[in-house]
Amino acid sequence: MASILRSPQALQLTLALIKPDAVAHPLILEAVHEQILSNKFLIVRTRELQWRKEDCRRFYREHEGRFFYQRLVEFMASGPIRAYILAHKDAIQLWRTLMGPTRVFRARHMAPDSIRGSLGLTDTRNTTHGSDSVVSASREIAAFFPDFSEQRWYEEEEPQLRCGPVRYSPEEGIHCALGRETLNQPSKVLSVPEGNRGLKTLSLLDPITCPKT
């Protein structure tokens, strides 16, 4: 895989998946989505899809032969999943911290407020997935978003999102940079209360507090 050129200050990308057990329950799906927003991730792309078993096997091929492999493949192909490309200064580690340990029993004891600690059912039905490195993030993003060019995003979109201000659109489910023409027009966009379900603005220059685990 070709090296992606980016500045030292650039935002980091990660893949986040919400698994079938969570997507099947709208309240759980919404709770995870709100965790993403409240921790100041930028949602770059999102989609819902039904995974084929062949895709699952390919994605999890590093686990082939292990006792849980077939069970994992069957589960991930059992219902719709939601995929996100998330951006943040430390996207990979922050998302993994929010998820909590892979093993739900461990998550409930070590990180009870994490997503898996509070919502996970079993080690397979543990609500979410996240990339574990920059290399795996690039590979996994390409698998779920084949039309997404990481290099082009870093060249064209990343500087605008990093410098802000940005808006989140519930209709589109992603964050976008506010254009200069938007900023110069009388608008209530920049003063929307934080709890409002409409457009919400933020800057990644704001201090970020990672959850305690």
Residues flagged as binding site: 19, 68, 96, 102, 116, 126
Q: Which residues belong to the annotated binding site for ATP?
A: 19, 68, 96, 102, 116, 126
Cβ-proximal residues to 27 (8 Å cutoff; 6+ apart), any chain: none
Q: Which entry of 33, 88, 129, 175 is annotated as an active-site residue?
A: 129
Contact 67, 83 (CB under 8 A): no
Show the CA angle centred on residue 6, arms to residues 10 and 177, nearest 5°.
50
Rounded-to-integer distance, Cα 118 and Cα 123, Å: 13
In eight-state DSSP terms, residue 86 is: E
- Is 129 one of the catalytic residues? yes
Q: Tell me the three state secondary structure of residue 210.
A: coil
Which residues participate in catalysis according to the annotation? 129
